[in-house]
Structure 1
Amino acid sequence: MAFSSRLSRVSRILDNARIPKLLVRYKGATLAALGLAIVAPFAFRDYQTFLSYGPGGLPYNVVGWLLSNVMRLLSREQLSTRPYKDKSLYLSDSAGSLPPGFPPRRNSPRPRFGVHPVPQRQVSQLPDAETRQELIARFTALGEAAQELGLVEIKQSLYERRHSALFVSKKREWHPVAQETRGEITHVHAGLDGSIHVTLHPKDCKKVIEAAWGQRHGLAGVGYVHLPITYLVVYAPRDEAEVQIVLTIVRASIAFMAGSTEMLE
């Protein structure tokens, strides 16, 4: 009888005539439950997308995902070259470090990037494992050569926190852009995609973007982020010829940030 009584009571509560009244009475809770039911699947998929990039500068967990989504609100467009016409940019009136006519036009459409600005990761047109490892090996060798010349130091990236990066040597004079990046020049994403972040001369930024070899970081030039407007991502190379192109851009980045043409010779 007790069970039957309870069942009857539940039935009366769920009676069609009473449901609307309950929804009105507990409107706040109802709306919250509906909102959660709608948003939860989208949030879960977005979180899985964030994890698919692999570890980056943010915590590789829910906290990092939430921070990255806050940063999405600050992210800016990445393909316009108009910012590099600004005469107040450091060395804007001088020639860049890339050779004339370089780089050649990239022979395919731009790759797609993840929707989250941090970590900035390429998600299409990825190199095979052999090409990525060749890029990493040659990037490392280039960094070691620059270090022997006293131009750079090799240590953990301040931006990525998990990859090594090249920094302007403390023996060099740090210009305003180097001070803004706290000395960091460039790092390669050694995990999944093989793209490279570089800080370039304004004129070289224009060349790289116009030739479809890279784009600006979504937070470049945003206050308090310590990313200069000349902070670009260079697309991952897919073969030997593209590895050479990308490394030439890295050399130009070292030359600009270290204030030396030694790596260009």
Structure 2
Amino acid sequence: MASSLTFDSLTEVFNGRRLAEIFRSHRTAILSTLGVAVALPVAINDYRTYISYGPGGLPYNVGGWLAAHLLRVFSREQLSTVPYDNKQLLLADEPGFLPSDFPPKRSSSRPRIGPHPVPQRQLEQLPSDEVRQKLIRRFAELGERAQQMGLVDVKRSLYERQHVALFVAATREWHGVARETRGEISHVHAGLDGSIHVVLHPADCKKVIERGWGQRHAFSGAAVLRKLFGFSLPVNYVLVYAPRDEAEVDVTLSIVTASIQFMTGTRAALE
């Protein structure tokens, strides 16, 4: 008897007409509850993705995640090479610093990149710890050689804050792109994924993107950021995907070398 009453009561509650009355009486509360029920799992998953990147330029907490989420509104397309056909770009009338047949086409599809523009990180195709450490060591050695040549200064990245970066030496003349990045040339994301940010000659940007080795930063060329936040990234600012083996480390370091040459205005050999 009790079961029957319970069933009858539930049937009454879920009666279409009754549901309509309840919805009309509590529309705001019901919609708010449904919104939270749908949005909360999505937000939790998005936050977990942000944390999976490891520490970067933004705070490594909920506040940093909220900022990264809000900054998505400024994200731009990252794979077209059309921007590098602009003859007004610095040194566009001169050849790039990478050989014409280099880099070779990358051997696999592009890795999936996280949805947040900051920090820009890979979610897959990550290197082993051994390969990542080898990249970090060789990046540091390249920086030391360039520093000994008077080309660069080595200090903490202005963008990432967690990682060491190469900067145009204070004693050298800075061109317009160097001034826009405040001298920063390149840094390795040493914490987890081993990808690299570099600033390249327009022709070299085109090669790196077309041959599958990287893509632009989501903020590259977004002049609106300077108006709103007082900084911007040149269209030359490119993410190079993390190398997965010794051969890819060689390719990656050659791209970093081209970045140093472009930013410091030299074609002298560094390796």
TM-score, L = length of structure 2: 0.88
Distance in structure 2 (CA, Å) of the matches to 1:34 and 1:134: 50
Give the match's secondary structure for 2:102.
coil
Q: Which residue of 2 aligns with 1:87?
A: 87
Q: In the alignment, does 2:64 pair up with 1:58?
A: no
AA aligned opposite 2:31: L
Distance in structure 1 (CA, Å) of the matches to 2:171 and 2:183: 12
Q: In the alignment, does 2:227 pair up with 1:228?
A: no
Query: How far 1:73 moved relative to its partner?
Result: 1.9
AA aligned opposite 1:75: S
Q: Which residue of 2 aligns with 1:38?
A: 38
**What are the equivalent positions in structure 2 for 1:18-33 lying under 5 Å apart?**
23-33=23-33
Distance in structure 1 (CA, Å) of the matches to 2:100 and 2:240: 19
Give the match's secondary structure for 1:92.
coil
Contact 1:89/1:202 (8 A) holds in 2: yes
Distance in structure 2 (CA, Å) of the matches to 1:182 and 1:264: 22
Query: How far 1:190 moved relative to its partner?
Result: 0.5
Contact 1:139/1:247 (8 A) holds in 2: yes
Query: How far 1:30 moved relative to its partner?
Result: 3.0
Distance in structure 1 (CA, Å) of the matches to 2:155 and 2:116: 26
AA aligned opposite 1:211: R
Query: How far 1:145 moved relative to its partner?
Result: 1.0
Contact 1:214/1:234 (8 A) holds in 2: yes
Distance in structure 1 (CA, Å) of the matches to 2:48 and 2:124: 17
AA aligned opposite 1:233: L
Contact 2:219/2:232 (8 A) holds in 1: no
Q: Give me the identity figure in percent.
A: 60
Distance in structure 2 (CA, Å) of the matches to 1:18 and 1:86: 64
Distance in structure 2 (CA, Å) of the matches to 1:240 and 1:25: 66
Distance in structure 1 (CA, Å) of the matches to 2:211 and 2:24: 60
- Indicate the RMSD between aligned Cα atoms, in angstroms: 1.8
Query: Structure 2: any 5+ residue segments left out of the alignment?
Result: 1-11, 226-230
Q: Which residue of 2 aligns with 1:158?
A: 158
Query: How far 1:130 moved relative to its partner?
Result: 0.6
Contact 2:112/2:123 (8 A) holds in 1: yes
**What are the equivalent positions in structure 2 for 1:7-156 lying under 5 Å apart?**
16=13, 23-156=23-156
Contact 1:146/1:263 (8 A) holds in 2: no
Give the match's secondary structure for 2:74.
coil
Q: In the alignment, does 2:196 pair up with 1:196?
A: yes
Distance in structure 2 (CA, Å) of the matches to 1:89 and 1:26: 59
Distance in structure 2 (CA, Å) of the matches to 1:33 and 1:241: 53
Distance in structure 1 (CA, Å) of the matches to 2:240 and 2:19: 58
Query: How far 1:237 moved relative to its partner?
Result: 0.9
Contact 2:136/2:190 (8 A) holds in 1: yes
Q: Count matched residues.
A: 252
Contact 2:145/2:270 (8 A) holds in 1: no
Q: Which residue of 2 aligns with 1:214?
A: 214
Contact 2:78/2:218 (8 A) holds in 1: yes
Q: Which residue of 1 aligns with 2:257?
A: 251
Distance in structure 2 (CA, Å) of the matches to 1:21 and 1:207: 63
Give the match's secondary structure for 1:73.
helix
Distance in structure 1 (CA, Å) of the matches to 2:70 and 2:86: 28
Q: Which residue of 2 aligns with 1:11?
A: none
Q: Which residue of 2 aligns with 1:237?
A: 243
Contact 1:252/1:264 (8 A) holds in 2: no
1:19–1:105 Cα change, 3 Å? closer
Distance in structure 1 (CA, Å) of the matches to 2:123 and 2:48: 14
Query: How far 1:23 moved relative to its partner?
Result: 4.6
Query: Structure 1: any 5+ residue segments left out of the alignment?
Result: 1-14
Q: In the alignment, does 2:267 pair up with 1:261?
A: yes
Distance in structure 2 (CA, Å) of the matches to 1:159 and 1:136: 18
Q: Which residue of 2 aligns with 1:3?
A: none
Contact 1:254/1:263 (8 A) holds in 2: no
